[in-house]
A = this chain, B = another copy of it.
Amino acid sequence: MLPILINGEPAEVLSALDRGLAYGDGLFESIRFVGAAAPLWPRHMQRLAESCRRLRMPAPDPAQLWREALEVACGMPQSVVRITLTRGVGERGYALPVPPQTTRVVAAFAPPRPAREAYAQGVRMRVCGIRLAEQPLLAGMKHLNRLEQVLARAEWSDPAIAEGVLCDQHGRVISATMANLFARIDGVLLTPALERCGVAGVARAEVLAACPHAQIAELTLDALLGAGEIFLSSSVRGIVPVQSLGDRVYAPGSATRQLQQHWRDLGFSMEHGG
């Protein structure tokens, strides 16, 4: 059995009337742990607090979440702790329950299988057919409304393809299905703006902080295909070079290698980030 705490108590089940289930009314964070360390924890807590504010949900106490995360990850040398926060059980209907009683689910999972080859040589990608809807009031948040990502991931079953590029309704590149995306174009490191759709990943924020010259910019699919170097950033998987996108082939470049080193410097292990 997976270790799970619900509102601080060991449990595996929650109310069938929870608004997280009824409406996807909540948020989550997937946090990579190395033993009892989570190098990106402060960024996860910052995003969670900001998203709670935007969704008008009471933010949980980070100290309490930290204790619960350590409890579920205890004994695992490597883990992913998923924190799910919902608006809890409410009456039928969309109106916000008063007073709000959030539900807090903290669960530890085994991390994805380490793939040294992926970190060394990169992964293969495709371009997804689905176009992300544009909703500024939800953009950037890691909320529980993820049907677009489910449909995007369902577009392919070839296990050799690791990820898919998602564009918005205007054809602008936004991200991969479960990672943010960076491209080096004419020597400049770029990542798409996420004001209208997409998830503002904590790994993306770490890359932007580590690379002050990186730019947030509009990125067309043509520009991405012509990039000199592409990599993915993910709080769970770290920095993953892109080896190919459809028919185009890329070599992992210096920006990728520097950021993989940065990830190791943060305390992530070889198995994780490089």
A interface with B by C-beta (< 8 Å): 2, 4, 6, 11-25, 28, 30, 55-56, 80, 82, 84, 86-87, 92-96, 105, 107, 109, 130, 132-135, 137-138, 143-154, 169, 177-178, 197
Contacts and interface: CB of A to CB of B under 8 A. Distances in A.
A23 B149 contact: yes
A11 B16 contact: yes
Nearest to A25: B150
A105 to B, nearest CB: 5
Contacts of A56: 154
A149 B28 CA distance: 19
Q: How many copies does the complex hold?
A: 2
Contact of A16 (B6, B23, B154): B6
Contact of A22 (B55, B144, B154, B197): B144
Nearest to A19: B150
A152 B21 contact: no
Contacts of A14: 13-14, 16, 21
Given A94-B149, A138-B147, A154-B56, A21 B23 contact: no
A171 B147 CA distance: 24
21 contacts: A11-B16, A13-B14, A16-B107, A19-B150, A20-B21, A21-B105, A21-B144, A22-B144, A23-B147, A24-B24, A24-B146, A24-B147, A25-B150, A30-B92, A55-B150, A133-B133, A133-B138, A134-B169, A135-B148, A137-B148, A137-B151
Contacts of A178: 93-94
Contacts of A153: 93-96
Among A6, A87, A134, the most chain B Cβ lie within 10 Å of the Cβ of A134
